[in-house]
Amino acid sequence: MTIKQPRQRSFPQPLVYLIILLFFQVDPSLAADRFGYREFIDVQKYCINIGISDTTDAIKGAAGLKLLLKKQTDTIILDLASLNNEKKGMIVDSILHDGFPVDFLHARDQLRLSLPDTNVDDTINITVYYNGVPVDGLVISKNMYGQRTFFADNWPNRAHNWFPSVDHPSDRAKVDFTITAPSHYQVIATGLLQKKVSMPNKKTTHYWSSKTPIPTKVMVFGAAEFAVEYLDDINGIPWSNWVYPPNMEEGFSAFSVTPGILNFFTEMIGPYPFEKIANVQSTTRYGGMENAGNIFYHERAVAGDRSITNTIVHEIAHQWFGNALSESDWPHLWLSEGIATWLTDWYAEQTHGPDMLRERMASNRRRVVEYSRTRLVPVVDYHTENYTDLLNPNSYQKGAWILHMLRRKIGEEKLVGALAGFYNRHRFSHASSDDFIKAMEDSSGMDLDLFFDDWLFSAGHPVLTLNTNYSQGRIYMELVQTQQHKIAFTFPLDIRFVFEDGTHQDHTFDVFFRRHEFILEMESEPVEIILDPEIWLLFEENLS
């Protein structure tokens, strides 16, 4: 377990502001990565066998787990939902270790197994037989057309609601799915389809297998009545689209942008990391969920008349950042969501030009500012215990803004190279914010402590008040940072001076104190002064 120390500024601060600053920065006592969440074991592989039915929401499961024992213990702990007051949850029937029954205790969403005769570095094979109605995680419902559907929806740590697991992003494993379903369903799952076998009582068993280790949050299957199109491989990667038959035409059309997006990120970051790319219309919680190799999109987004291209870009970007490289713990979620948001912005700029990027960054900035008025916390947030609450503009839009400002600071080429290097260094593993910072510093050759202290580990953003006075060919400016939670951020600020004849002058000022005074020679008085005209700074202008 590592402890993240708060990053302190390198120049002195008045005591009153220092107290405020520390209050809004990371408390080291709360900053422990829970990396090594189940520190005694490492799951190597899951073999998940699930039976589903049209007559009940109950599932019957058998989960085989191949575990590596990392530290000596006689008790193995797994995550598995137990029965709640509504009698939903999982009931464990029996557990076998290498074919022999073992003692277990299942309570408070934990499954404890007694394995006294095991040693460090032993490989342990257990099979858990269970049944029950999932509380969450496996969503059994009807789609917008009234048809019954089954979709795994695991993010952030909801997989344990339907199979025993180490339900944390720091633990990665290979996965096989064996899904037995009524034969009128098509079944999609992580990995590649190995075979389908017709069973008695009009059922079919579908065998899917993946050799790529991934966290539980993106291990899924879906079963529904789909229209499926199998298209030409994209650089050797099988590509398919799975949509509900009533909106087949518009669904297939929406997903037709996939090859260009996949090729774009392959060229930028590296080879596509999974066995296939499948776009799936689903009846689940989120607008899009980046499940590894088979992305689930909300049914109404696919069926609607608006373009979902930006969502597709975002979710495909996640195949690299979020899936192949995962955050080591939930407070570092921005390494998934912030990077995927910025990559979506980057794609928009490369395909539609810089005006589109400025428009998107201005929109992102508004979202961040609005959120800060309701909750003022750092991007790396160790205080939030409800992980779903981390799906906020800090993780998405502010994470993207950090990369946008970093692009200016270290240069576009170095940033793109550093992102690819960061990915390749931690591919098929996990990383923390410190790992990201190291990659950026290695690529740029710069000390970026102060930058990340301001934007990643401190709450909020600069609030700027500009007072000006023009007299005798000079403009006198007073720039004040008026935010109350932090004495000063450090940043370059572009100011545009617009004149009556339509011309303008741009000047850049280095800001690092609470209050600055600047004087510029200027032949005529500007009719308009614009802060940050090209949208390079995350800030809020105080116009009162």
Spatial distance between the Cα atoms of 335 and 167, rounded to a whole number of angstroms: 19
Find tokens 């500024």 and name the residue. Answer: 9
Whether 78 and 190 map to the same domain: the answer is yes
Asked which of 4-8, 364-368, 484-488, 526-530 is least confident by mean pLDDT, the reply is: 4-8
- How would you classify the pairing of strands 528-531 and 491-498? antiparallel
Whether 67 and 179 map to the same domain: the answer is yes
Whether 345 and 431 map to the same domain: the answer is yes
Segment 228-238 shows an average pLDDT of 97
Whether 200 and 246 map to the same domain: the answer is no
Dihedral of alpha carbons 294, 296, 302, 306, sign: negative
Spatial distance between the Cα atoms of 86 and 134, rounded to a whole number of angstroms: 11
Domain finish residue from 300, 319, 338: 319
126 near 65, Cβ under 8 Å? Answer: yes
The answer to the question of residue 149 being in a domain is no
Whether 342 and 439 map to the same domain: the answer is yes
Whether 468 and 535 map to the same domain: the answer is yes
Whether 90 and 179 map to the same domain: the answer is yes
The answer to the question of residue 3 being in a domain is no
Q: Which tokens in the block code for residue 507?
A: 């000047």
Whether 107 and 125 map to the same domain: the answer is yes
Give the model confidence (pLDDT) of 243-272 as tens digits. 999 999 999 999 999 999 999 999 999 999
Residues paired with 521 in a beta bridge: 474
The answer to the question of residue 26 being in a domain is yes
Is the whole-model pTM more than 0.95? no
Segment 11-21 shows an average pLDDT of 35
Query: For residue 21, is pLDDT > 70?
Result: no
Query: For residue 354, is pLDDT > 90?
Result: yes
CATH number at residue 504: 2.60.40.1840
Whether 209 and 109 map to the same domain: the answer is yes
Domain finish residue from 425, 455, 485: 455
Give the model confidence (pLDDT) of 489-513 as tens digits. 999 999 999 999 999 999 999 999 9
Give the model confidence (pLDDT) of 304-352 as tens digits. 777 899 999 999 999 999 999 999 999 999 999 999 999 999 999 999 9
Whether 330 and 315 map to the same domain: the answer is no
- What CA–CA distances, in Å, run from 14 to 17, 19, 451, 485, 488? 6, 9, 20, 13, 11
Spatial distance between the Cα atoms of 182 and 170, rounded to a whole number of angstroms: 35
Read off the pLDDT band of 56 (50, 70, 90).
very high
Read off the pLDDT band of 35 (50, 70, 90).
low
Whether 118 and 51 map to the same domain: the answer is yes
The answer to the question of residue 1 being in a domain is no
Give kind and range of the element (H or E) at residue 342.
Answer: helix 334-352
The whole-number pLDDT of residue 408 equals 97
Give how many domains the chain has, as a whole number: 4
Segment 482-493 shows an average pLDDT of 96
Instruction: Read off the DSSP letter of residue 333.
Output: T
Give the model confidence (pLDDT) of 170-220 as tens digits. 999 999 999 999 999 999 999 999 999 999 999 999 999 999 999 999 999
Read off the pLDDT band of 34 (50, 70, 90).
low
The answer to the question of residue 404 being in a domain is yes
Spatial distance between the Cα atoms of 83 and 497, rounded to a whole number of angstroms: 66
Segment 4-20 shows an average pLDDT of 34
Spatial distance between the Cα atoms of 338 and 396, rounded to a whole number of angstroms: 4
Segment 519-534 shows an average pLDDT of 96
Ramachandran angles phi, psi of 82, nearest 5°? -100, 175
Give the model confidence (pLDDT) of 94-103 as tens digits. 999 988 999 9
CATH number at residue 173: 2.60.40.1730
CATH number at residue 401: 1.10.390.10
The whole-number pLDDT of residue 1 equals 24
pLDDT > 90: percent of the chain: 90
The answer to the question of residue 107 being in a domain is yes
Read off the pLDDT band of 5 (50, 70, 90).
very low
Domain finish residue from 436, 455, 474: 455
- Integer-rounded Cα radius of gyration of the chain: 26
The whole-number pLDDT of residue 305 equals 73
The answer to the question of residue 146 being in a domain is no
The answer to the question of residue 143 being in a domain is no
Q: Which tokens in the block code for residue 512?
A: 């690092």
Range of the domain at 288: 226-319
Whether 115 and 100 map to the same domain: the answer is yes
98: left (phi over 0), alpha (psi -120 to 50) or beta: left
Segment 287-302 shows an average pLDDT of 96
The whole-number pLDDT of residue 47 equals 98
Return contacts of 232-239, CB within 8 angstroms, 24+ apart.
234/258, 234/259, 234/262, 234/263, 234/272, 234/277, 235/262, 235/263, 235/266, 235/272, 237/262, 237/272, 237/274, 237/275, 237/276, 237/277, 238/192, 238/275, 238/276, 238/277, 239/276, 239/277, 239/278
Q: Which tokens in the block code for residue 541?
A: 């202008």
